[in-house]
Amino acid sequence: MSYFALAIGTASRNKEGKIIEAWYPEPLLNPSDDLMTGIDEVIKLKGGNEVFVLEKSQMNPLAGHLAAAGHKLSAEFCRAAESSHQTLLMVALESDSAPSSVAEGFLKLHLISHRRVKPHGCSLDGLFGLLHNIAWTNEGPIDLPELAERQIEARLSGRTLSVDCVDKFPKMADYVVPSGVRLADTARVRLGAHIGEGTTVMHEGFVNFNAGTDAVSMVEGRISAGVMVGDGSDVGGGSSIMGTLSGGGKVVVSLGKNCLLGANSGVGIPLGDNCTVEAGLYITAGTKVTLLDDNKQAVKTVKARDLAGQAGLLFWRNAETGRVECLTNKAAVELNRELHSNN
């Protein structure tokens, strides 16, 4: 009884009873056959990708099977949830196909933020069309058509309903805070971001869903959807790494290990390890780049896409001619590990 993923959690519904978001404290990747057999005794799995609204009477038996499989957090959650008034949910995914419900979509976002899978490690095809536009408030998620009524209700009862943002994606820290990270402004990291241990995201840094860092990184710029940044790399203040959501691009842009994007720079091509882009220089696939030899003499001019994925490159703009130049990078960046232990 092989399954791709399993999660038990809570869900919010709108007035029509539709699930608009879900929270899973311990999503499981590739749960054991023994666990799924035990769950089948309680839930009666039909096969395929399924979403179940649970009865309270099912929570204690589920807790027993989860505890027996070594999933202590999920077992504790099930026992505590037996007395909850929240909508209780279980999602069982037999295969990693495109999500077909909000509950499935939120599970896959959780898998990435819990570091169970890396960006591009599971299918998120069609996710935007599934998710609701939500008012994320101090009283929880509210379906946008219901916001005005809830605001009136709050005011008349002497409360203030604070709307943090209106979006399809919540901030990651309201659902998942992975170990060993610093997030200076949690609103700038979306659920579905993969934040590697040792990463610091500063106040103006931003990490989108299905994107993130492998391990130790300093993020002061923008990591767009689909982008992965390698260990030891620094995304400088105001810099940007081009994603694929806008513009129809198909190439996955990434940074290798020990790369540096200078302040207000950016790239639209993948870079290999030990690459540096000087401050203020934005390189897109069509940027004309003059290659230099060790004596800094021009060899030939190519388009930046021809250098995609290569390691040890240093990009700068010639202050006299204005042309973009590239030579071998002999002084790769090395981050201060003490600043990124984040314990």
Distance of CA 266 to the CA centre of its chain: 20
Of the residues 220, 278, 320, 325, which is catalytic?
220
- Alpha-carbon distance 190 to 59, whole Å? 30
Place of tokens 């989860």: 66
Q: Is 220 a known active-site residue?
A: yes
Q: How far, in Å, are 12, 257, 276, 297 from residue 310 at the CA level?
A: 46, 12, 12, 20
Alpha carbon distances (Å) from 93 to 36, 78, 132: 11, 19, 21
Which among 178, 214, 207, 204 has a CA at the least distance from the CA of 193?
A: 207
- Strands of the sheet containing 163-167, edge to edge, are 140-143, 134-137, 163-167
Are the C-beta atoms of residues 3 and 93 closer than 8 Å to each other? yes
Tell me if residue 233 falls in helix, strand or coil.
strand
- Name the phi and psi angles at 165, rounded to 5: -165, 165
* Residues recognised as catalytic: 220
